[in-house]
Amino acid sequence: MSSGSDLENRYCAQNYHPLPVVLSRGEGVYVWDEEGNKYLDMMSAYSAVSHGHANPRLVAALKAQAEKLCIVSRAFYTDKLGPFLERACELTGQDAALPMNTGAEAVETAVKAARRWGYEVKGITENQAEIIVCSGNFHGRTTTIISFSDEAEYQKNFGPLTPGFKIAQYGDIDSLKALITPNTAAFLIEPIQGEGGIVIPPAGYLKACETLCREHNVLLIADEIQCGLGRTGKMLACNHEDVVPDGLILGKALGGGIMPVSMFLAKKEVMDVFVPGTHGSTFGGNPLAAAIGLEALNILVDENLAERSMEMGNYMMGELNKLDSAMISTIRGSGLFIGIEIDPALGSAREICERLMTRGLLSKETHETVVRLAPPLVITKEQIDWAVDQIGQVLQELDSIRLAS
Ligand SMILES: *Cc1c(COP(=O)(O)O)cnc(C)c1O
């Protein structure tokens, strides 16, 4: 391969296992490698590129704001932050927002808010607050966040870990109920688990979590960094069950595929625990990020991207379900957030992704057994037809190789 990957392999920490392709350009649902080969991007940077690569409205917003004002820190007000946060609150039913940059920072913000709310509002004894999370969760990679992962690989030799977390069985309301104590400040959940393998809990589960949390004065905090902002066919995955969480975390697509933009949103009673000096970020809420974030939200609404995700997702699911391969154990999804679970005895998701890559379709396996399909929400039916055709052919190839041996 070209020097691009050689240099990256030589100088970059080896904390990822990229597919062997060196990308240099993107437009809409497509990206191109150094040699000019074109690929349909069904990864969209883990859903950060829902608006498509180099979305013209977002590039225009970036250019216009870059020429005016980019970074001043929150030591001053700017003309861009207020309108951005107002729009985010309007669209999500929350009262206030705290802007950050990456997803993990917004999750950290949620954890801090929940603990402080636990002490100052709920009246939990100092340093006793507990936060309940879910099995199979993914909330980022900071030291505290990996402390409440149940993935051994994420934790090994990064200890000592942060205490104060308990893990409930994802999708099992009784498991959550059994863990709630008077010291429980919050329940943190991904309404649909992304990194966990596009895992959708049973219908009614999220609503039951909301009811249970309200009964026990426990904050329900939804991490919608990956599943939010139209990805699952609604503006928020919580909207599928008319759940309004007490705290909400957004990231990824909030930056329009252009830059990292994240935020923690909450009810007033929760957000009010932050007073000057208690939390901050040099770059969080900078005017460049705010201009891009506002445009990203406006595009979602103007172009009906959530409805489109629902329609195209249903279409793609229907087409995928017509595929006939012993390797597929299940196909699950919501909107354009789809996972094909591969029977590990018969095939590997990584090998399928590698073969799709040589055919011009980029995807990435998650948890070894799931092929993730999460294209930009602007994808068309024709592009989906082409992709499903490639997937069908790769499965057929692998089925015949296996049957021949
Ligand atoms: C990606 C992700 C995060 C972490 O976001 P970063 O920007 O990588 O820090 C947190 N929660 C969920 C659900 C995610 O998918």
pLDDT band at 1 (very low <50, low <70, confident <90, very high): very low
Q: What is the pTM of this model?
A: 0.97
Q: What whole-number distance in Å separates Cα of residue 327 and Cα of residue 379?
A: 26
pLDDT of amino acid 210: 98
For strands 364-366 and 370-373, give the pairing. antiparallel
pLDDT of amino acid 2: 52
H or E element that contains 23: strand 23-27
At 22-42, the pLDDT tens digits run 999 999 999 999 999 999 999
Query: Alpha carbon of 339 to those of 14, 95, 108, 314, 316: distances in Å?
Result: 26, 34, 28, 13, 11
At 357-368, the pLDDT tens digits run 999 999 989 888
Mean pLDDT of the 178-183 span: 98
Q: What is the position in ligand 1's atom list of the atom closest to the CA of 260?
A: 7
Residue in 44, 28, 47 with CA at minimum distance from that of residue 252: 47
Atom 5 of ligand 1 has which residue's CA nearest to it?
Answer: 103
- What's the chain's average pLDDT? 97
The pLDDT of residue 258 is above 80: yes
Question: Annotated catalytic residue: which of 223, 246, 274, 283?
Answer: 223
Domain-wise residue ranges, the chain: 3-54+305-404, 56-302
Atom 15 of ligand 1 has which residue's CA nearest to it?
Answer: 226
The pLDDT of residue 377 is above 70: yes
Q: What is the position in ligand 1's atom list of the atom closest to the CA of 142?
A: 9
Pick the CATH number of 56-302 from 3.40.640.10, 3.30.43.10, 3.40.190.10, 3.20.20.450: 3.40.640.10
Mean pLDDT of the 207-226 span: 98
Active-site residue 223, yes or no?
yes
- For residues 369 and 197, the answer to whether their CB atoms sit within 8 Å is yes
Can you list the positions of beta strands (E) in 87-196? Answer: 96-100, 130-134, 165-168, 184-189
CATH of domain 3-54+305-404: 3.90.1150.10
DSSP state of 252: G
Active-site residue 252, yes or no?
yes
